[in-house]
Amino acid sequence: SSDLWGNAIRVGIFGESHGSEIGVVLDGLPAGVAIDLDFISAEMLRRAPGHDLLATQRKEDDVPKILSGVKDGYTTGTPLACTIENTNKRSQDYDSFLRPGHADWTARIKYGKFADVAGGGHFSGRITAPLVFAGAVAKLILAEKGIRVFARIRSVGTVTDDMDVMGVLLDFETIQNLIKISQKGFPASEQFEKAFQEEIKQAMASSDSVGGTIEVIAAGALAGLGEPFFGSLESVLASLYFSIPAVKGVEFGKGFALSAMRGSASNDPLYVNAGKIYSKTNQCGGVLGGISNGMPIVARVAIKPTASIHLPQETVDGDPPENVTAVIRGRHDPCIVPRAVPVVEACTALGLLDLFLMNAGRK
Amino acid sequence: SSDLWGNAIRVGIFGESHGSEIGVVLDGLPAGVAIDLDFISAEMLRRAPGHDLLATQRKEDDVPKILSGVKDGYTTGTPLACTIENTNKRSQDYDSFLRPGHADWTARIKYGKFADVAGGGHFSGRITAPLVFAGAVAKLILAEKGIRVFARIRSVGTVTDDMDVMGVLLDFETIQNLIKISQKGFPASEQFEKAFQEEIKQAMASSDSVGGTIEVIAAGALAGLGEPFFGSLESVLASLYFSIPAVKGVEFGKGFALSAMRGSASNDPLYVNAGKIYSKTNQCGGVLGGISNGMPIVARVAIKPTASIHLPQETVDGDPPENVTAVIRGRHDPCIVPRAVPVVEACTALGLLDLFLMNAGRK
Amino acid sequence: SSDLWGNAIRVGIFGESHGSEIGVVLDGLPAGVAIDLDFISAEMLRRAPGHDLLATQRKEDDVPKILSGVKDGYTTGTPLACTIENTNKRSQDYDSFLRPGHADWTARIKYGKFADVAGGGHFSGRITAPLVFAGAVAKLILAEKGIRVFARIRSVGTVTDDMDVMGVLLDFETIQNLIKISQKGFPASEQFEKAFQEEIKQAMASSDSVGGTIEVIAAGALAGLGEPFFGSLESVLASLYFSIPAVKGVEFGKGFALSAMRGSASNDPLYVNAGKIYSKTNQCGGVLGGISNGMPIVARVAIKPTASIHLPQETVDGDPPENVTAVIRGRHDPCIVPRAVPVVEACTALGLLDLFLMNAGRK
Amino acid sequence: SSDLWGNAIRVGIFGESHGSEIGVVLDGLPAGVAIDLDFISAEMLRRAPGHDLLATQRKEDDVPKILSGVKDGYTTGTPLACTIENTNKRSQDYDSFLRPGHADWTARIKYGKFADVAGGGHFSGRITAPLVFAGAVAKLILAEKGIRVFARIRSVGTVTDDMDVMGVLLDFETIQNLIKISQKGFPASEQFEKAFQEEIKQAMASSDSVGGTIEVIAAGALAGLGEPFFGSLESVLASLYFSIPAVKGVEFGKGFALSAMRGSASNDPLYVNAGKIYSKTNQCGGVLGGISNGMPIVARVAIKPTASIHLPQETVDGDPPENVTAVIRGRHDPCIVPRAVPVVEACTALGLLDLFLMNAGRK
Q: What is the DSSP string of C178-227?
A: HHHHHTSSS-S-HHHHHHHHHHHHHHHHTT--B-EEEEEEEESS-TT-S-
B131, B343 in Cβ contact below 8 A?
Answer: yes
The confidence band for C1, taking pLDDT boundaries of 50, 70 and 90, is: very low
> A67–C83: do the CB atoms touch at under 8 Å?
yes
The confidence band for D93, taking pLDDT boundaries of 50, 70 and 90, is: low
Length of chain A: 363
Q: Chains near C, with 3+ CB pairs < 8 A?
A: A, B, D
Q: How many CB pairs under 8 A join A and D?
A: 37
Angle at C207 between CA C202 and CA C210, to 5 degrees: 55
Cβ neighbour number for residue D94 with a 10 Å cutoff = 18
* Chain B residues within an 8 Å CB radius of D67: 14-15, 19-23, 83
The confidence band for A89, taking pLDDT boundaries of 50, 70 and 90, is: low
Residue A229's closest chain D neighbor by CA? D78
Burial B273-287 (b: 16+ CB within 10 A, else e): eeeebbbebbbbbbb
Supply the pLDDT for residue B1: 46
Cis status, amide bond into D49, omega within 30 of 0? no
Cα D287 from Cα D285, distance rounded (Å): 6
Supply the pLDDT for residue A360: 85
Preferred mutation among A29, A65, A71 to probe C, highest tally of C CBs within 10 A: A71
> D67–B23: do the CB atoms touch at under 8 Å?
yes
Nearest residue, CB atoms, D238 vs list C231, C239, C267: C239
Per-residue model confidence as pLDDT tens digits over C158-211:
999 999 999 888 999 999 999 999 999 999 999 999 999 999 999 999 999 999
For C8-162, where are the alpha helices, taking DSSP H only?
A: 37-47, 104-111, 128-144
Residue A245's closest chain B neighbor by CA? B289
| Average pLDDT, integer, range C283-304 | 98
| Nearest residue to C157 via CA among C216, C201, C199 | C199
A41, A275 in Cβ contact below 8 A?
Answer: no
Give the closest-approach CA distance of D334 to chain B in angstroms.
27
Give the closest-approach CA distance of C43 to chain A in angstroms.
24
Per-residue model confidence as pLDDT tens digits over A102-128:
999 999 999 999 998 887 899 999 999
- Whether pLDDT at B298 is above 90: yes
Which range, of A301-310, B266-275, D120-129, averages the lowest pLDDT? D120-129
Burial D134-160 (b: 16+ CB within 10 A, else e): bbbbbbbbbeeeebbbbbbbbbbbebb
Percent of chain D with pLDDT over 90: 85
Reduce the DSSP state of residue D116 to 3 states and report it: coil
| Nearest residue to D158 via CA among C265, C262, C252, C255 | C262
Reduce the DSSP state of residue C171 to 3 states and report it: coil
Supply the pLDDT for residue B118: 82
Give the closest-approach CA distance of D76 to chain C in angstroms.
26
Preferred mutation among A4, A10, A78, A358 to probe D, highest tally of D CBs within 10 A: A358
Supply the pLDDT for residue B330: 81
Give the closest-approach CA distance of B12 to chain D in angstroms.
8
Cα A239 from Cα A242, distance rounded (Å): 5
- Whether pLDDT at A60 is above 60: no
Amino acid code (one letter) for A40: I
> D30–A228: do the CB atoms touch at under 8 Å?
no
- Whether pLDDT at B347 is above 50: yes
D196, D159 in Cβ contact below 8 A?
Answer: yes
A122, C76 in Cβ contact below 8 A?
Answer: yes
C136, C129 in Cβ contact below 8 A?
Answer: no
Greatest mean pLDDT among A35-39, B17-21, B85-89, D5-9: A35-39
The partner residues of C292 in beta bridges, in order of sequence, read C287
Residue B242's closest chain A neighbor by CA? A235
Per-residue model confidence as pLDDT tens digits over D188-212:
999 999 999 999 999 999 999 999 9
> A362–D228: do the CB atoms touch at under 8 Å?
no
Per-residue model confidence as pLDDT tens digits over B48-85:
876 555 655 555 578 999 999 999 999 999 999 999 99
Give the residue, C361 or B207, on which the prediction is more confident: B207
Q: How many CB pairs under 8 A join B and D?
A: 160
Burial-class residue B191 by CB neighbours within 10 Å (0-12, 13-18, 19+): exposed
Which range, of A5-14, B23-32, B277-286, D114-123, averages the lowest pLDDT? D114-123
- Which residues have C-beta within 8 Å of that of residue C197, sequence separation ≥ 6? C54, C186
> B77–C362: do the CB atoms touch at under 8 Å?
yes
Reduce the DSSP state of residue B226 to 3 states and report it: coil
Cβ neighbour number for residue C65 with a 10 Å cutoff = 13
B307, A263 in Cβ contact below 8 A?
Answer: yes
Give the closest-approach CA distance of D356 to chain A in angstroms.
8
- Region label for B224, one of left (φ > 0), alpha (ψ between -120 and 50) or beta (otherwise): left
> A208–B258: do the CB atoms touch at under 8 Å?
no
H helix or E strand, kind and range, residue B322: strand B322-326
Nearest residue, CB atoms, A115 vs list C25, C76, C111: C76
Give the closest-approach CA distance of B79 to chain A in angstroms.
19
CA distances from C207 to A256, B173, B194, C312 (A): 73, 83, 90, 10
| Average pLDDT, integer, range A188-217 | 97
Supply the pLDDT for residue A2: 63
Preferred mutation among B7, B355, B362 to probe C, highest tally of C CBs within 10 A: B362
Supply the pLDDT for residue D173: 94
A1, C9 in Cβ contact below 8 A?
Answer: yes
For chain B, where are the alpha helices, taking DSSP H only?
A: 37-47, 104-111, 128-144, 172-182, 190-205, 233-241, 263-266, 337-362
Nearest residue, CB atoms, A78 vs list C67, C74, C122: C122
Q: Chains near A, with 3+ CB pairs < 8 A?
A: B, C, D
- Whether pLDDT at A210 is above 70: yes
H helix or E strand, kind and range, residue A24: strand A21-27
Cα A305 from Cα A208, distance rounded (Å): 9
Cβ neighbour number for residue D176 with a 10 Å cutoff = 12
Preferred mutation among A10, A29, A352, A363 to probe D, highest tally of D CBs within 10 A: A363
Nearest residue, CB atoms, A23 vs list C8, C67, C71: C67
* Chain B residues within an 8 Å CB radius of A254: 248
Give the residue, C38 or A359, on which the prediction is more confident: C38
Residue C122's closest chain A neighbor by CA? A78
> B78–D116: do the CB atoms touch at under 8 Å?
yes
Amino acid code (one letter) for D114: F
- Which residues have C-beta within 8 Å of that of residue D173, sequence separation ≥ 6? none
- Answer whether 0.90 is exceeded by the pTM: yes
* Chain C residues within an 8 Å CB radius of D107: 289, 291
Angle at C291 between CA C78 and CA C183, to 5 degrees: 65
> D250–C238: do the CB atoms touch at under 8 Å?
yes
* Chain B residues within an 8 Å CB radius of A277: 98, 105, 316, 321
- Whether pLDDT at D330 is above 70: yes
| Nearest residue to B2 via CA among D71, A352, A232 | A232
> C305–D243: do the CB atoms touch at under 8 Å?
no
| Average pLDDT, integer, range A272-296 | 97
> D79–B7: do the CB atoms touch at under 8 Å?
no
Cis status, amide bond into B338, omega within 30 of 0? no
CA distances from A359 to A167, B1, B243, C23, C353 (A): 29, 9, 18, 31, 33
- Whether pLDDT at D1 is above 50: no
Per-residue model confidence as pLDDT tens digits over B183-197:
999 999 999 999 999
Largest CA distance in chain D: 72
Give the closest-approach CA distance of A352 to chain D in angstroms.
13
B240, B351 in Cβ contact below 8 A?
Answer: yes
D79, B14 in Cβ contact below 8 A?
Answer: yes
| Nearest residue to C66 via CA among C85, C78, C83 | C83
Supply the pLDDT for residue A1: 46
Nearest residue, CB atoms, D357 vs list A28, A78, A362: A362
| Nearest residue to C268 via CA among C293, C248, C247, C250 | C293
